[in-house]
């Protein structure tokens, strides 16, 4: 039995770190949106008994350290599956770029396993997946959503950002553990709220969009990696209505009013940056 699927990336339109929890993880408040940059995921279940095997193209990482492998192991152990499982992933989402690629892969893997073995993914199991990768519960839902807790509380939104996006990857890998540790020093008792952004999305009113977008990680990441800050500035200088770093970095996205403006920015920015792509948000 075999299933092939796409694992779509995401951008964070809003990301606030609320507090550090006693277990060492962090509570967040975020607005996440799927984008159609995707990895290819293939899951094969053999009839014979055996172990889990994970292979990847475009990424060199031991399967025991890989989020998709960890999520698959949790599924197999939780539901008592003893059959040999092979997972093959072809990477297209930039590594350590804040687009949630590893969590997207993990979500696709457990979803495929659930389909192969006809096992619905239970709420308790999905909450456990948040400890494997905080973005996995959202990736199982996709679309546009308000994400809270450590990532396990996902509330789908009925509005999404439907303006053209351009994504830039500056070739820098940002360690999310380092970013969370650094951002912890910036936490306040009055965290920012996403109220204005939610209103912008609901009303399709983009005048306040640049002020509504927020990412708590930008300050510390820009200080350590000034080229990421320069990438954001380049988006704004090339006509973006708004721009923001996604997740803990290093990808930055620019939001444009028209596709023609977005394509013009891509053409200009490709002269300076190796990885610049025009994408449309997934509904």
Answer positive or negative: Cα dihedral of 278, 228, 61, 52. Answer: negative
pLDDT per residue, tens digit, the chain (283 aa), is 999 999 999 999 999 999 888 888 899 999 999 999 999 999 999 999 999 999 988 766 555 558 999 999 999 999 999 999 999 999 999 988 999 999 999 999 999 999 999 999 999 999 999 999 999 999 999 999 999 999 999 999 989 999 999 999 999 999 998 999 888 777 777 899 999 999 999 999 999 998 999 999 999 999 999 999 999 999 999 999 999 999 999 999 999 999 999 999 999 999 999 999 999 755 4
Task: Please tell me the CATH code under which domain 2-156 is placed.
Answer: 3.30.230.10
Domain with CATH 3.30.230.10 in the chain: 2-156
| Every domain range in the chain assigned CATH 3.30.70.890 | 165-279
pTM: 0.93
Q: What is the pLDDT of residue 188?
A: 76
Q: Name the region of 149 (left: φ>0; alpha: ψ -120 to 50; beta: rest).
A: left
Type and span of the H or E element at 271: none
> Residue 83: how many CB atoms within 10 A of its CB?
17
Residue 61, pLDDT score: 58
What is the structure's pLDDT at 281?
Answer: 59
- What kind and span of H or E run contains 267? helix 259-269
According to CATH, the topology of domain 165-279 is Alpha-Beta Plaits (3.30.70)
Per DSSP, helices labelled H in 101-225 are 101-116, 123-132, 136-141, 176-183, 195-203, 209-212, 218-224
Active-site residue numbers? Answer: 10, 135
């Amino acid at each position: 039995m075999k299933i092939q699927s796409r694992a779509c990336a995401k951008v964070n339109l809003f990301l606030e770190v609320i507090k550090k929890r006693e277990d060492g993880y962090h509570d967040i408040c975020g607005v996440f949106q799927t984008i159609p940059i995707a990895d290819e995921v293939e899951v094969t279940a053999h009839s014979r008994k055996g172990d889990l095997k994970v292979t990847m193209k475009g990424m060199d990482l031991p399967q025991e350290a890989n989020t998709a492998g960890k999520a698959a192991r949790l599924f197999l152990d939780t539901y008592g599956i003893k059959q040999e499982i092979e997972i093959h992933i072809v990477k297209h989402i930039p590594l350590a770029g804040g687009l949630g690629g590893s969590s997207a892969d993990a979500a696709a893997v457990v979803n495929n396993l659930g389909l192969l073995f006809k096992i619905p993914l239970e709420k308790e199991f999905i909450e456990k997946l948040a400890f494997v990768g905080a973005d996995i519960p959202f990736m199982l839902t996709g679309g546009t959503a308000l994400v809270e807790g450590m990532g396990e509380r996902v509330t789908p939104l009925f509005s999404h950002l439907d303006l053209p996006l351009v994504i830039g990857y500056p070739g820098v890998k940002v360690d999310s553990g380092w970013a969370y540790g650094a951002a912890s020093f910036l936490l306040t008792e009055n965290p920012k709220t996403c109220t204005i952004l939610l209103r912008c999305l609901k009303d399709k009113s983009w005048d306040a969009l640049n002020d509504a977008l927020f990412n708590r990680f930008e300050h510390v990441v820009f200080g350590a990696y000034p080229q990421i800050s320069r990438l954001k500035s380049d988006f704004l200088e090339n006509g973006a209505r708004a721009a923001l770093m996604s997740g803990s970095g290093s990808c930055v996205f620019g939001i444009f009013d028209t596709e023609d403006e977005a394509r013009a920015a891509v053409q200009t920015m490709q002269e300076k940056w190796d990885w610049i792509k025009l994408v449309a948000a997934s509904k």
